[in-house]
Structure 1
Amino acid sequence: MHVTSFINNGTSVSLIRLCLYAVAAALLLSDARLNAYSAPLQTDSSLQVLHWWTSDSERKAATLLANRLGDEGIAWRDAGIPGGAGIGAGKVLKSRVLAGNAPEVTQIIGISIREWDDLGFLLDLDKVSLANKWNASFFPTVQNLIQPRKHVVATPLGIHRINTLFYNRKIFAALKLNPPENWDELVATAAKLKAAGITPLAQSSEPWQVTALFENLILAESGPEYQRELFVKQSVPAALDHRLIDALERLRVMKTWMSNPVEERPWPEVVRQFSKHEAAMLIMGDWAKGELNGMGFATDDEFSCAAMPGTGKYHLYSVDTFSMFANDLTRVSAQEKLARLIATPAVQTDYNAIKGSVSVRRDADPSKMDSCARASWTTFAQGATVQAPSLVHRMATDESTRDAIIVLIHRYFTDDTVTAAQTQKRLAAIFHTFNINNHR
């Protein structure tokens, strides 16, 4: 293969980047080991933590972890990077690794854990896992995420339900509306809200937020099996299925329920719009609940949660996880303490109550959760048949495929001249190209 064609190929660009990261990893590990062997091994009592928790509720959740880590005698050096879905943090992490300045702890989620682990960057946490019986304590899906190969290389924090519908209780009560359970009821609810002069749905045109709404529609249309065929297996026949057209057309319908024009806003601003009664509904991951609670709105008071209409039996999930970089042997003891701490029942309970997510532990007590969290945790606990890995939040596929799909769906959403049929053909072509490259 010529160099030009190699570089122009999207998948190959990813491989080039991975090779660069691998070289950087080797240099980092080599330097760390030389430093460790040239002087008596000492432990450092601080850890720099890179993450993308920068909203008010997310900062409160991070502060709780920092305080608990401080109780262990270890300082949390915060490196929060703004940007929804971790887009900015991912770029910063890669640049820092290439510069030889990787953080000791970083938020890496989903498929990305395996990619970084394949390069040899991540600290082996098997000792912590075995000592604390993680395999027996965590849901199998969570355990598989943190152990993509032979070794545990991440510690899980919480599970988010992406298919969450938030609705304003006062508006619904005034109009005698019930939370919709299927598409037809959702359409009827939106029509009544519009007739009353109320914006039915709060939404941003930010690319990842648009695609998150779209993957909700895919799940509602056909359930987890089709969702996996489409986003995990990247099946060309699945992309050409009429169900994709149906989901795209429904996305266009939902656009008419939003503010006009649909502005590109960070997700906390969309939540604030909802909190100010400027829209009656919000479809977003349950981190929005953490933000609403932080504003002083109690669950089942000003607002309540339900599943995205048509997805009541399912859980479109994202799992927050931390990985430790194995670039400084003097930090290992502190890194292992943080890993152990995060997974303890007490921290799981307190952290997830602030963040809006639910515990990764199978022994959590749902009776102590609010109605939104209880519905999320009990649904996820039913197992893989009801679970659907989120595309947007890196649970379903690699970065290159994810990014290509997000660009495609965002273009369809923002440009009304682009048809559903054109978008379907382009998605099938993306899958065809990636499938060819992956089998070379």
Structure 2
Amino acid sequence: MKLNNLLVAALAACSVSGAIAGEVEVLHWWTSGGEAKSVGELKKIMQAKGHTWKDFAVAGGGGDAAMTVLKSRVVAGNPPAAAQIKGPAIQEWANEGVLANLDATAKAEKWDSLLPKVVADVMKYKGNYVAAPVNVHRVNWMWANNAVLKKAGVTATPKTWDEFFAAAEKIKAAGLIPVAHGGQNWQDFTTFEDVVLGVGGAKFYQDALVKLDQKALTSPTMTKSLETFRKIKSYTDPAAPGRDWNLATAMVIGEKAAFQFMGDWAKGEFTAAGKVPGKDYTCAAAPGTANAYTFNVDSFAMFKLKDASAQKAQGDLAAAIMGTEFQEVFNLNKGSIPVRLNMSMDKFDDCAKASSKDFVATAKTGGLVPSVAHGMAISPAAEGAIKDAVSQFWNDDSITVADGVKSIAKAAATK
């Protein structure tokens, strides 16, 4: 250990700039094409500052496998510099006393003025920054194939649920599938939270799905939400159970289905297929949610490190993640938008520009709300229980709306 310290001191003394170069180890599960390319850009930025990048990629399971590895590393007293963690899980890790305080970097880089408060609060523990946000995904998107709508005689993208069901009837009559849907509980809940937001508005969404208020969960508004949710199910195809989200997107791209309710990662599928927004497909807020925005923010939590050079590298990493260079290139690759509020959107497509405009607007009006479906709002235990209750209702038509309301309210009380 002493030898390591001597080496670090020697390297620091030899440095012409006087800056301390260190190693930064980053745990993530971004291994697909665009994501891996983006991580490569972050590596380049860090290397340009003289630091050594140690990639710690754990593929699979939407991060579940990575979290298992991370827990064992932290327990062993050997955490990475940074790990891909998001939502309330950030506070759970911070509560264990293992996350580093990033306030010095955040203050120098003016994060408080660059982030909406609702997003900044997710990155903080007891008022101190412990994580750096990477991007914003809008979850409450509805994707539509323009050729399918035209074929069915639907002349405008539906803005209300009544308009949506009128369009769905025309599409069904034309022999096409109105709604492309997949069969995992997070897909069911993505649609469900769109409906709750569209039927009840942002305040009701917050009360029912974020605060888990029993009065809101058992209200007539929730009953109406479940009635609407069930009606959407009637416009999906029988092969939906078990289908992956990207295969549902492919149905819209391939003119087999008209609509899909999915976050903006679906845009990557359209782009890969050579489709152009406005011309081939439309991205619109889910019915009734034009003035609201459900967000899913990826982020890196920073762990406490003993080595001074590693701490310096960690601070530089946090600054680079929020820097304009990385924010632009990462989000162009990922299909999301920059989390910084002052970013130029010139290189982004029309869907991203619309998303950014609405992100900024809803941050001011209270319409910016965390996505429950994507782990941004409530404890993992409550989230899992509610998702299961919603999926049971979705998959079993014998469950009455009244029983569905009771089941979801009961699940929300899970600690």
TM range (shorter): 0.7 to 0.9
Unaligned runs of 5+ in 1: 1-34, 435-440
Is the alpha carbon distance of 1:294 and 1:336 closer, same or farther for their aligned partners in structure 2, counting shifts above 3 Å?
farther
Instruction: Give the whole-Å Cα distance in 2 for the aligned partners of 1:55 and 1:417.
Output: 40
8 Å Cα contact 2:142/2:260 also seen in 1: yes
TM-score normalised per structure 1: 0.83
Q: Does structure 2 conserve the Cα–Cα contact (< 8 Å) formed by 1:290 and 1:353? A: no
Change (3 A) 1:192 1:55: farther
Q: What whole-Å deviation, never above 9, does each CA across 1:375-416 have from its counterpart, x for those lacking one? A: 221222122511121112222211111111111111111222
Deviations 1:152-174 (A, max 9, x none): 11111111110001111222233
Q: From the superposition, tell whether residues 260 and 171 of structure 1 become closer, same or farther in structure 2 (CA, over 3 Å).
A: same
Find the partner of 1:339 among 281, 298, 318: 318
RMSD: 2.5
1:88 is displaced (CA, Å) by 4.6
Question: Any idea what the Cα deviations from partners look like across 1:95-145, whole Å, max 9, x if unmatched?
Answer: 543455543321111111111112111122122112212122222222222
CA offset digits 1:51-103 (Å, max 9, x no partner): 3434444334334334444444432514143234x445444433543455543
Tell me what 1:314 maps to.
Answer: 292
* In 2, Cα distance between equivalents of 1:52 and 1:121: 21
Residue 337 (structure 1) shift? 1.9
Q: Equivalents in 2 of 1:396, 1:404: separation in Å?
A: 14
Tell me if 1:393 matches 2:374: yes
For 1:305, the equivalent position in structure 2 comes to 283
Which position in structure 2 is the counterpart of 1:113? 90
Q: 1:265 aligns with which of 240, 243, 246?
A: 243
Q: How many residues align?
A: 399
**In 2, Cα distance between equivalents of 1:295 and 1:328:** 47
Q: Which stretch shows the higher mean deviation, 273-282 or 395-404?
A: 273-282
Preserved contact between residue 51 and residue 106 of structure 1 (Cα < 8 Å): yes
SS at match of 2:134: strand
- 1:357-436 pair list within 5 angstroms: 357-366=336-345, 368-382=347-361, 383=363, 385-432=366-413, 434=415
Take 1:62 and 1:290, find their aligned partners in 2: how far apart are those partners?
A: 17
In 1, the alpha carbon distance for the partners of 2:160 and 2:301 equals 39
Which of 87, 103, 114 is the aligned partner of 2:80? 103
1:97 partner letter: V
* Shift of residue 206, structure 1, vs aligned partner: 0.6
Which residue identity lines up with residue 188 of structure 1 in the other structure? A
Q: One-letter code of the match for 2:368?
A: Q
Paired residues for 1:14-163 under 5 Å: 35=1, 39-40=5-6, 42=8, 46-73=23-50, 74-84=52-62, 86-98=63-75, 100=77, 102-163=79-140
User: Is 1:348 aligned to 2:327, yes or no?
Assistant: yes
Mark the CA change 1:340 to 1:57 in structure 2 (over 3 Å): closer, same or farther: same
Counterpart CA distance in 1 for 2:292 and 2:150 is 26
Distance (Å, rounded) in 1 between the aligned partners of 2:7 and 2:273: 46
Give unpaired runs (5+ residues) of structure 2: 9-19
